[in-house]
Amino acid sequence: MNLRNFKLFFLAFAVVPLIAACRNKQKEKDGFIKDNVEFAIAQTDKMLQAVGEPTGKNYPRTINNKGELVNTGMYDWTPGFFPGSLWYLYELTGDTKWKDVAEKWTESLEPLKTFTGHHDLGFMMYCSYGNADRLAPKPGYKEILIESANSLSTRFNEKTRTIKSWNYRKAWNGTTEWFYPVIIDNMMNLEMLFYASKITGDKKYYDIAVKHSDSTLKNHFREDFSAYHVVDYDTITGKVLSRATCQGFSDNSTWSRGQAWAIYGYTMVYRETKDAKYLDAAIKATELYLKNLPEDLVPLWDFNAGEAGYLPEGKSYAVKFQKKLRDASAAAIVCSALFELGEYANRPEYVDYAVKMLYSLASPAYRAASDSNIDFLLMHSVGSIPHKSEIDKPLVYADYYFLEALTRYKNLGSKK
Ligand code: GLY
C-alpha cells in the first residue's frame, strides 16, 4: 500500500468511525440532558402551582406518609434548596421565567441574614443567594451574603476551632447529651465564608473556614476515612468529648449522606484553598464511599445498616427493613462533587463514576414518573431513620444536587 492509499484507508477505517462515535456520544448526552431538563421543568411548574407565592412558611421539603406535600418554614435547614433548584433551571434553560421565580423565592429568605440559631445558614443562603449572585447579581445580594457570613461566624469558637452546628441537644435516643455538637454536614456551610472573604477582601471568614476544616479533618474521620456524624467538643479545653451518630445506624457506622457531605465539603475546600491536604481528604473519603456502593451506585442509607457489630444503642427500629433502603440524596451529592473532584484530582474515572451515577439517578428506579411524586424529581431518599422521619421519600436537597450535577454534566469540557 502506498502512502496515499494508506492515508485513505486510515481515514475511512479509523478517523471517520471515531468522529461518528463522538457525534453519537454527544447526541446521546444532549438527549439525556434535554429529557431531564424537560422533566424537571414540568415537575417544578406544578410544584410552583402547588406552593403558590413564597410566604416564609412554604418551602417544599418532602412528602408525608399520607402522600401529601410537606413544606417547612424558613428557619429549618432546607429553605435554600428550592430557590437553588430554580436557579439551576435558569442556568440550564436560559429562560428568564426561571430567573424571575428564582429571584422571588430567594428574596423571601432575606430575613435569615441575621439568623444565628444553627449552622445551616450556608445551605440556606448560599444555595439561594449564592446562586443568585453568580447567575443574576442584583444590588444588595452581596451585602446579604456578607451579613449571613457574619451571622454564621458568631457560632465559631477559638477554643474548639470549629463552628457549633447545633445548640445543646439530646441524641436521638433521648439520653445522650451534646453541649457543643459539630456534624460533618457543617463542611458545606463553609462555602459561603470563602465567598465572603473573596468579595470583601477580609480574610477573617476564610480563616474560620480553614480552622473548621482542619479540626474536622483531625477529629471527624476514622482510620479508613469513613466519617463520624457528630463530634461533641469541650469548650473549656477544646478537646473532643465524644463521637457519635445522629442520623446514621450507629455511632460506629458510616451514614452515607455524612460521607457524601465530607466528599463534597473537602472538594470545595480544596477548590477554595488549593491546599493538597484537602484534596487528599476528598479522595480518601471518596475511595471509602466507592468501595461501599452497590451495582447501581446509589448507596444504602448507612453502609453498615443491619450489620453485626454495629447495633444501634436502644435498637428501637426495624433493622432488617432499613438495611434495604437506599439514599438517593447521598448519591446526588456525591455525583455532583465527583464532576469537580475528578478534574482537581486528575482522575477521569471519578468523572466516569459521576456520569454513571447521574444516569442511575435519572433511571426509572430513582427518577419519578411524570406527574407523580408530588412534583419532586427523585424518589427514594432517607431523611433520618433514627427519628422515624422521611424514610424512603423524596427530599428537596436530593433534587437540588441532582440538578447541580446535571448542570455540571452539561458544562463538562466547556471551560467556563
Ligand atoms: N444536614 C442534615 C442532613 O443531611 O440530613
Question: CA 186, CA 179: separation in Å to the nearest integer?
Answer: 16
Q: Is 148 in the pocket of ligand 1 (CB under 6 A)?
A: no
Q: State the distance from the centre of ligand 1 to the C-alpha of 18, rounded, in angstroms.
A: 45
Q: Which long-range contacts (CB under 8 A, 24 or more apart) does 20-23 make?
A: none
Q: Which residues contact 209 (CB under 8 A, 6 or more apart)?
A: 190, 193, 194, 197, 269, 272
Could you write out the DSSP letters of every residue in 34-52? HHHHHHHHHHHHHHHHHH-
* Residue 330 buriedness (CB in 10 A; 0-12 / 13-18 / 19+): buried
Local confidence pLDDT in tens for the 416 residues of the chain: 676 776 766 666 767 777 777 889 999 999 999 999 999 999 999 999 999 999 999 999 999 999 999 999 999 999 999 999 999 999 999 999 999 999 999 999 999 999 999 999 999 999 999 999 999 999 999 999 999 999 999 999 999 999 999 999 988 778 889 999 999 999 999 999 999 999 999 999 999 999 999 999 999 999 999 999 999 999 999 999 999 999 999 899 999 999 999 999 999 999 999 999 999 999 999 999 999 999 999 999 999 998 888 876 655 554 555 778 999 999 999 999 999 999 999 999 999 999 999 999 999 999 999 999 999 999 999 999 988 899 999 999 999 999 999 999 999 988 65
Which amino acid, one-letter code, is at 259?
Q
Q: State the distance from the centre of ligand 1 to the C-alpha of 383, rounded, in angstroms.
A: 7
Question: CA 302, CA 254: separation in Å to the nearest integer?
Answer: 6
Q: Which of 30, 35, 76, 120 is catalytic?
A: 120
CA 220 vs CA 187, 194, 379: distances in Å: 11, 21, 30
Place of cell 430554580: 86
Query: Which of 127, 185, 264 has most ligand 1 atoms within 8 Å of CB, for mutation?
Result: 185
* SS3 state at 168: coil
Place of cell 448526552: 29
Kind plus residue range of the DSSP H or E element containing 392 = strand 389-393
Residue nearest to atom 2 of ligand 1 (CA): 185
Place of cell 465564608: 193
Atom of ligand 1 nearest to the CA of 123: 1
Q: Which residues contact 273 (CB under 8 A, 6 or more apart)?
A: 210, 213
The reported pLDDT for the residue numbered 315 is 57
Which amino acid, one-letter code, is at 213?
S
Question: CA 392, CA 322: separation in Å to the nearest integer?
Answer: 10
Question: CA 60, CA 397: separation in Å to the nearest integer?
Answer: 10
Q: State the distance from the centre of ligand 1 to the C-alpha of 185, rounded, in angstroms.
A: 6
Active-site residue, 202 included: no
The reported pLDDT for the residue numbered 89 is 99
Place of cell 401529601: 68
* Crossing angle of the two packed helices 190-200 and 141-153, in degrees rounded to 10: 120
